With several copies, the nearest count.
Chain A
């Protein structure tokens, strides 16, 4: 069962070398916790983005916390590319497994089901597949007996994400961002930051229970108000686009990135 603790104790559950799963930036990103992880100097993370990431992967990569990355995309969409991710891949210092979104979902789903693998159509003839020796092509055992890709299950050591609220029993209300269920189900344990703690048991409220992740999937929960900043969080707050644009400009150089870390990670603790 999950216990509620302070932020540093919560992130202590993420060990150096862990296979860490983080959600896409529409789902609820534990950015306050990510900054705390960087301050702690977490090392050698094997990072899995489910299935893509923006600032969260970018900061961990830039700060040198990531030994290996599996992703379907790291970038800021219309706002621009992810400078530290791009630099690390070009420099050859970041071993990367390029995936495609539904292949990451398929691997996690196999993990969620306790299956050793899962099939996924498509991919054949792509360089995505050509560069994934850990995936296999088998013959579909049923008609039309076509060649089909199978990916091994992924069970991350730990999932890290941000949600709206937890109750005293350690249940967490996820709301509409069902990705967080899928990541938590697949992972060995989850570490979660929340906007607030509520007094009533979420699983006993018929309206809230359907979107509540039961405590037994979770390990540690810490309160972190505005814990997804500067990213959007559900219907609670919007992305801080100006901050992200400033980040992209500043992180164009290693020196600029270091100044960003000094100011926003090591300096004042972001509210």
Chain B
């Protein structure tokens, strides 16, 4: 079986969450969830993984606000965001394209980003469309800024951006992305052509490492089964696992 694009992204995120204590996964995030369950499976009990949609991983008993309370307190180490636009300085836009008051496109809203982006030490950005339309120099609406002025309380922010083409690291001091690795089958030129923001890069960008054989076996075994119980469509699309009703 060939390595699928989703498995490459899971592998990158899995490396990025090494050694963290509590990973919270938001709604509709099968790729981050798979990476988190893989970390648990590889070195049990591994990190705490909380995931509201999953009965076995729903650790919350104080309503929706508990995640934000825990993040504010520093109890959450990792969270994930995407964005309609992601800007070169790490800003994310979950709200509107064009003028905010009369937008060309409107998205659901900022969710918890304007707070979590400041409070969770490791925010991992992922975007399944790598294009000049999505990765832009400046976003049209800042749901959450990538960096803050001195004096503003901030303990968290973006550490990486993972796309179908590559893995960028975010340099907080410079407020810029830096190309870390390019996924197998893709090139630096492809990344340059499809990225709307300027970024730093090494002279030769390494290829994104594949998951080891043991990790891949676990991912395609128990982790895939667990993911398929929570995200039946994803389990079917990626691993051909039959959908099971949760009713």
Contact = CB atoms under 8 A, between A and B. Distances in A.
Interface of A: 1, 24, 26-27, 50-52, 71-75, 77-78, 81-82, 85-86, 89-90, 92, 98-103, 105, 109, 111-115, 120-131, 140, 144, 146-148, 155, 176-182, 185, 203-204, 209-216, 235, 237-238
The 6 A-B residue pairs with the shortest CB-CB distance, nearest first, are A114-B72, A75-B108, A73-B109, A178-B63, A102-B68, A100-B114
Contacts of A73: 94, 108-111
Interface residues of B, number: 60
B202 interface: no
11 contacts: A26-B52, A26-B64, A52-B109, A73-B108, A75-B109, A100-B111, A121-B153, A177-B63, A211-B61, A235-B55, A238-B247
B149 A213 contact: no
A27 B106 contact: no
B45 interface: yes
Interface in B34-80: 45, 48, 52-53, 55-56, 58-66, 68-75
Given A105-B68, A124-B148, A127-B143, A89 B63 contact: no
Contacts of B116: 102, 122
A52 B69 contact: no
Interface stretch (B4-12, B96-104, B158-166): B96-104
Contacts of A78: 28
A179 B246 CA distance: 23
Contacts of A203: 58-59, 61
Nearest to B141: A127
A212 B101 CA distance: 42
Contacts, number: 184
Contact of A185 (B62, B102, B107, B143): B62
Contacts of B228: none
A178 B62 CA distance: 5
A89 B103 CA distance: 8
B72 to A, nearest CB: 2
Contacts of A209: 61
B56 A120 contact: no
A7 B53 CA distance: 30
